[in-house]
Amino acid sequence: MSPAAPSLLLCSLLLAVATLVAAARRHGCPTKCGDVDVPYPFGIGAGCFRSKGFEISCVNNGTTAVLPSATHHAIPVTSLSVAPQPEAKVMLPVAYRCYNSTGGTVSLFDGHVDVNTHGVYRISDARNAFVVLGCNTGAYTSNSISNGTGRYNYQYYMGCFTYCSSAGSAMDGRCASVGCCRVDIAPGLTDNVVSFEDWPHDSMDYSPCDIAFLVDKDSYDFRASDLRMDVERASMPVWLDWAIRDEESALTCAAARNSTRYACVSANSECVDSANVPGYFCRCKQGFEGNPYEDNGCTNVDECTRPEVYPCYGICKDTEGTYHCKCPSGYMTTNGGDPKKQQCIRKFPLQARLALGICSGFLFLAVAMLFTLIVCHKRRMNQLFQRNGGSVLEKVDNIRIFTKEELKKITKNNSHILGKGGSGYVYKGTLEDSTMVAVKASIEVSEALKEDFTNEVIIQSQMIHKNIIKLLGCCLEVDVPMLVYEFASNGNLYDVLHGKANRHLPLSLDLRLDIATESAEGLKYMHSSTNHTIRHGDVKSANILLDGNFMPKISDFGTSKLLGRDEDFTMFVVASMGYIDPVFHQTGLLTRKSDVYSFGVVLLELICRKPTIYDEHCSLIIEFHRVLVKNNSGRAMFDKDISVTEEDVFVLDEIGKLAVECLNEKVEDRPDMKEVAEQLLMLRRARKYGEWNCRSPHHFEYKNQT
Ligand SMILES: *[C@@H]1O[C@H](CO)[C@@H](O)[C@H](O)[C@H]1NC(C)=O
Ligand SMILES: *[C@@H]1O[C@H](CO)[C@@H](O)[C@H](O)[C@H]1NC(C)=O
Ligand SMILES: *[C@@H]1O[C@H](CO)[C@@H](O)[C@H](O)[C@H]1NC(C)=O
Ligand SMILES: *[C@@H]1O[C@H](CO)[C@@H](O)[C@H](O)[C@H]1NC(C)=O
């Protein structure tokens, strides 16, 4: 440590203490007097102002701020400001010279007030004017004692003349040398001393005084009545500039910066040379605001909160002393201009934006169209679903409602065709649990048929019997509802009996008897339903399906009845040629006995293994009848494969006779399905257990019952 160091340290310590004391004392100083803010360097009370020139007194019990003045009554202050300009507004008395009726001077005041004992203030030339009122008056203010270079005692003389030819010539609002005149003033005025010309004023009671004053340019508006104002009490607002002009040594900024009394103490403050005679003032640097004469008085301005003053067309970010403004990403100003002054626009050139716009337009259209398609599709599906009775069927327990999609999956997109039914193809399908199903088109369901269709579907779903093909579900979201049935792997009886592929399939008598019996059981179950409308309507070997164990399953009922209701369909569509009950043919009335008739034909097919029309034009029914009448036995017609023993022939004859009874032209002579089934069941039991009595009376018995 150098020997000078301790004293230097002491110095700075003292300085710091002094500053602290000053700051502390300023801290308790009043900042306001009445309505007037009193910012430092101004102050009220000892230690509160920078120097004597900045002292403000607060009088009238603390309501009025005044500049202390040695020469005259105190000068009221109405405003003190540090920024943006160092200014003060004071009320100054007017100068006057008043006359009696003979023109003798009765009172005189030259307007002199000592506003500037300490060199702080200057009269603002920019904001004040010199005004003279009177009707035969010339007045001027002289100022600044000459330094000896000029002709007269003062450096400045400024004034004007005003004259009125009569009492009424002065006009309100016109300060044009009739009752009122005004002039701008020179810079550097420190004081105001008015001289009046010594011109005649006798008999001018409308203008008893010559009056002159300095006044805020913007606030004085001449009134003719001002010619008679109460001059002793009148005062006018005057703007004063102020600057730091410490006593005799008014410094420039350059010199002041070295001074210990340098006024601009705040960080981020700067010094400005006064435009009006020597001296300087302080202001906060750009981007800061507050009082530069106080420690840390200048604080950062958050420009972004004042866009009206600090515009930014992009994203505004405040920083210490300034703010940044940049365009959002993807935006820029034209020609790289400043976003504080220019709007930000998209970076893309017009063409690119156009292209992008068009592209996104198309994309939007595409999406919209796709959406519309989907919605339409959904709506169409729903319409079909409703049209096909979906809302009713949904509630039926043992029917599963498949969606179009599910069905597609189940049938592997209709890839495996099982056959062709009355109303379209039948497809093979596999459910999720590997159950095989047959999917079959129903009929087109019109609004009129909707109820019938749903009813039929419900009835079918309730037909639960081992010899009736089971309806598992349906799909309604298509034009023609699709029905899903249990799958019978051996196809239909017609194909099994007469199909070329099955020509050599051995079908024993027992198996045929089983098929006949079980089929009859299925039809019996159907006919025994409490619902009297139920009849098959299209019993034929092609509608008897055989499962893997040759268990017969009656299929394709119900919906065929619906077909019959539509007048467009001819009779033979309802029941198939060769199986039609001739009574139904005549009356058009489909009864259960019609099913019995058709079943009789099936029995003949079973025992003869011949289709209803064989060898081109032979009718199975007619031929069998002929043979039976002729030989009292159908033996000649029986399938040779199964008519081996006498017993076989006997059984076959029993079946044949039963068939012929079913084919009776008289409806009431036909047995019903219950009797047919019982007869077949007895035949089967007798054959199985060998309780064979060649004179079986059974079917003659029931013949008497009907
Ligand atoms: C001045 O103010 C004090 C209290 O603020 C009050 O008691 C007193 O009467 C006031 N005097 C005048 C002259 O208004
Ligand atoms: C007017 O004033 C003058 C000078 O002051 C005086 O001599 C004169 O007598 C006064 N006249 C009247 C009418 O008072
Ligand atoms: C007197 O003041 C004038 C202008 O204000 C200046 O130009 C001149 O140098 C001064 N003369 C003296 C002797 O100070
Ligand atoms: C201010 O002080 C520095 C040294 O402290 C000096 O070099 C410089 O000349 C001074 N400037 C003025 C204007 O006095």
433 has pLDDT over 60: yes
12 has pLDDT over 50: no
The mean pLDDT of 673-690, rounded to a whole number, is 88
More confident residue, 445 or 514: 514
Show Cβ contacts of residue 81 under 8 Å, excluding neighbours closer than 6 positions.
37, 39, 87, 88
Beta-strand ranges (E) seen in 150-217 are 154-163, 180-184, 193-196, 209-216
Task: Give the C-alpha separation, 551 to 414, whole Å.
Answer: 26
Phi, psi of 197 (to 5 degrees): -70, 150
Q: How many CB atoms lie within 10 A of CB 553?
A: 25
- Largest Cα–Cα separation, the chain: 179
Span from the CA of 119 to the centroid of ligand 4 (angstroms): 25
Structural contact between residues 441 and 515, judged by C-beta atoms closer than 8 angstroms = no
Of 365, 366, 407, which Cα lies nearest the Cα of 384? 407
Quickly state the pLDDT bin for 704 (edges 50, 70, 90).
Answer: very low
Positive/negative CA dihedral, 625, 626, 627, 631 = positive
Phi, psi of 311 (to 5 degrees): -65, 150
State residue 558's pLDDT score: 60
Residues labelled as active-site residues: 538
Quickly state the pLDDT bin for 573 (edges 50, 70, 90).
Answer: very low
State residue 693's pLDDT score: 55
Question: Which residue has the CA at smallest separation from atom 1 of ligand 2?
Answer: 104
Question: Which residue has the CA at smallest separation from atom 2 of ligand 4?
Answer: 258
Which of 98, 99, 100 maximizes ligand 2 atoms within 8 Å of its Cβ, making it the mutation to test the pocket? 100
End-to-end CA distance of the chain: 145
User: Which amino acid belongs to residue 395?
Assistant: K
Domain 493-689, what fold? Transferase(Phosphotransferase); domain 1 (1.10.510)
80 has pLDDT over 60: yes
Domain ranges of the chain: 87-242, 301-358, 390-486, 493-689
Show Cβ contacts of residue 471 under 8 Å, excluding neighbours closer than 6 positions.
399, 457, 460, 461, 463, 483, 484, 485
Residue with token string 């007037």: 36
More confident residue, 533 or 193: 193
State residue 569's pLDDT score: 39
More confident residue, 21 or 461: 461
Does the beta carbon of 252 sit less than 6 angstroms from any atom of ligand 4? no
Does the beta carbon of 363 sit less than 6 angstroms from any atom of ligand 4? no
574 has pLDDT over 70: no
565 has pLDDT over 70: no
Structural contact between residues 595 and 576, judged by C-beta atoms closer than 8 angstroms = no
Positive/negative CA dihedral, 393, 395, 399, 402 = positive
More confident residue, 472 or 361: 472
Q: Of the bound ligands, which one is closest to the alpha carbon of residue 63?
A: 1
Quickly state the pLDDT bin for 702 (edges 50, 70, 90).
Answer: very low
State residue 203's pLDDT score: 85
Does the beta carbon of 169 sit less than 6 angstroms from any atom of ligand 2? no
Which of 147, 151, 190 maximizes ligand 3 atoms within 8 Å of its Cβ, making it the mutation to test the pocket? 147
State yes or no: 440 annotated in a binding site: yes
Does the beta carbon of 375 sit less than 6 angstroms from any atom of ligand 4? no
Lowest mean pLDDT among 92-96, 209-213, 532-536: 532-536
Which of 143, 145, 149 maximizes ligand 3 atoms within 8 Å of its Cβ, making it the mutation to test the pocket? 149
State residue 691's pLDDT score: 64
Phi, psi of 391 (to 5 degrees): -65, -30
| 127: enclosing H helix or E strand | none
Of 309, 305, 314, 302, which Cα lies nearest the Cα of 338? 314
CATH for 301-358 (2.10.25, 3.10.50, 2.40.50, 2.30.30): 2.10.25
Quickly state the pLDDT bin for 555 (edges 50, 70, 90).
Answer: confident
Alpha carbon 306 to chain centroid distance? 31
State residue 138's pLDDT score: 94
| Model confidence pLDDT, tens digit, residues 538-551 | 889 988 999 988 89
DSSP 3-state assignment of 354?
helix
Lowest mean pLDDT among 16-30, 128-142, 443-457, 633-647: 16-30
Q: Radius of gyration over alpha carbons of the chain, in Å? A: 63
Quickly state the pLDDT bin for 705 (edges 50, 70, 90).
Answer: very low
Give the pair of three-digit tokens for residue 21.
């004391």
Domain 390-486 has CATH 3.30.200.20: yes
Q: Which residues pair with 426 in a beta bridge?
A: 419, 440
User: Which amino acid belongs to residue 619?
Assistant: S
The mean pLDDT of 334-355, rounded to a whole number, is 78
Lowest mean pLDDT among 189-193, 309-313, 650-654, 677-681: 189-193
Question: Which residue has the CA at smallest separation from atom 5 of ligand 2?
Answer: 104
The mean pLDDT of 613-620, rounded to a whole number, is 87
| Model confidence pLDDT, tens digit, residues 117-175 | 678 888 999 999 999 999 999 999 988 777 777 788 888 889 999 999 988 899 999 99
More confident residue, 588 or 65: 65
State residue 506's pLDDT score: 77
Q: In what order do the strands lie in the sheet containing 128-133?
A: 105-109, 95-99, 209-216, 128-133, 180-184
Q: Report the atom number in ligand 3 closest to the C-alpha of 147.
A: 1
Of 465, 458, 581, 594, which Cα lies nearest the Cα of 531? 458
353 has pLDDT over 50: yes
State residue 26's pLDDT score: 65
When the pLDDT of each residue in the chain is averaged and rounded to a whole number, the result is: 83
State residue 423's pLDDT score: 67
CB hemisphere CA count around 228 (13 angstroms): 7
Does the beta carbon of 148 sit less than 6 angstroms from any atom of ligand 3? yes
Quickly state the pLDDT bin for 15 (edges 50, 70, 90).
Answer: very low
Does the beta carbon of 149 sit less than 6 angstroms from any atom of ligand 3? yes
| Model confidence pLDDT, tens digit, residues 482-498 | 888 899 888 888 888 88
Buried b (16+ CB within 10 A) or exposed e, 309-336: ebebbbebebeeebbebbbeeebbbeee
